[in-house]
Chain A
């Protein structure tokens, strides 16, 4: 059993779409989970549908949505204060140093992050790379396990089958509630589709029923 799981993603809602089922799996075992969220998704283009946020008010909404989502998941949250879209232009070294401070304090047995180079969004790739760098700096005996999430269309041919695959059907309701907590993002991210609740539930059930990760080998 894990002693503490730390999830490291750059955007509010990455935890919802990518790992809400896995997080629930651990929470139901009583494992503490902490989310280190890099940015407030300031540059997201989804403004709600119908639109209710502006470029300037979006981070305020997304901060509240993130807090609500973490309440749904019953996990701890740290907001790291970087700016959306800029992570790849920051110093990887400095981000790694910052992440390492958190990891040394939290002492996780498992870290979940994006697979660098295979996570589509430049922020995902950069934050995943900084996470790997931070853990590399730890003594081997103190390093947590790392589950890296790849989301490229070519991930299976590039990386093979993921060795960790969780059927999250039992946690579907939680995942659904977590996604819906991100009110400004839920409908838009799920596509050009009917934003009705029933439709979203179907999409999440069919497309998001497993969460998969690759164990990182240092």
Chain B
């Protein structure tokens, strides 16, 4: 993945608007957070292959942390803290934020075709 280029990501978000797209959205602090630190809590969520149709999308923020909001007819999809992007060989938009050790903390991914189950 590369550091986010807002123009490229915004262009891709626009291309995927007004059609059914498959979403992978996720945040995690790992399965061992409270194992390594008794004061910490394990938290995480992911949803994979939800389909969403949005009519408006924006990427905001700067290199310290971008936010993405997708506006649907009856709600929103939101992710904060993405800093890297990739448009992969299957033309999917992958956005992620990693910590200093390269561990994934947040991801938002959009695809016209389903992600592997």
The number of chain A residues with a CB under 8 A from chain B is: 24
Are the CB atoms of A56 and B46 closer together than 8 Å? no
Return the CB mask of B82-117 against A: 1 if under 8 Å, else 0. 001010100010101010111111010100000111
Are the CB atoms of A46 and B86 closer together than 8 Å? no
Cβ of B22 to closest chain A Cβ, rounded Å: 12
Judge whether A122 is part of the interface by a CB distance below 8 angstroms.
yes
Q: Which residues of A contact B31 (CB under 8 A)?
A: 85, 120-123
- 24 A-B pairs with CB atoms under 8 Å apart are A43-B28, A46-B101, A46-B102, A46-B103, A46-B104, A51-B1, A51-B84, A51-B102, A54-B94, A55-B24, A55-B26, A55-B94, A55-B96, A55-B104, A56-B94, A85-B46, A120-B31, A152-B35, A153-B35, A153-B38, A187-B101, A188-B103, A192-B100, A192-B101
Judge whether A173 is part of the interface by a CB distance below 8 angstroms.
no
Given contacts A51-B102, A55-B96, 12 further A-B contacts (CB under 8 A): A43-B26, A47-B104, A48-B102, A54-B88, A55-B26, A56-B88, A56-B92, A56-B116, A121-B31, A122-B31, A153-B38, A188-B103
Q: Which residues of A contact B88 (CB under 8 A)?
A: 54, 56-57
The number of chain B residues with a CB under 8 A from chain A is: 28
Are the CB atoms of A49 and B102 closer together than 8 Å? yes
Are the CB atoms of A47 and B94 closer together than 8 Å? no
Cβ of B114 to closest chain A Cβ, rounded Å: 12
Given A47-B103, A51-B84, A51-B102, also A121-B94 (CB < 8 A): no
Q: How far does the alpha carbon of A85 sit from the alpha carbon of B96 in the complex, in Å?
A: 19
Are the CB atoms of B103 and A83 closer together than 8 Å? no
Q: How far does the alpha carbon of A45 sit from the alpha carbon of B115 in the complex, in Å?
A: 18
The list of the 9 closest CB pairs from A to B, nearest first, reads: A49-B102, A51-B102, A45-B103, A45-B104, A121-B31, A120-B35, A55-B107, A45-B30, A54-B94
Q: How far does the alpha carbon of A120 sit from the alpha carbon of B32 in the complex, in Å?
A: 7
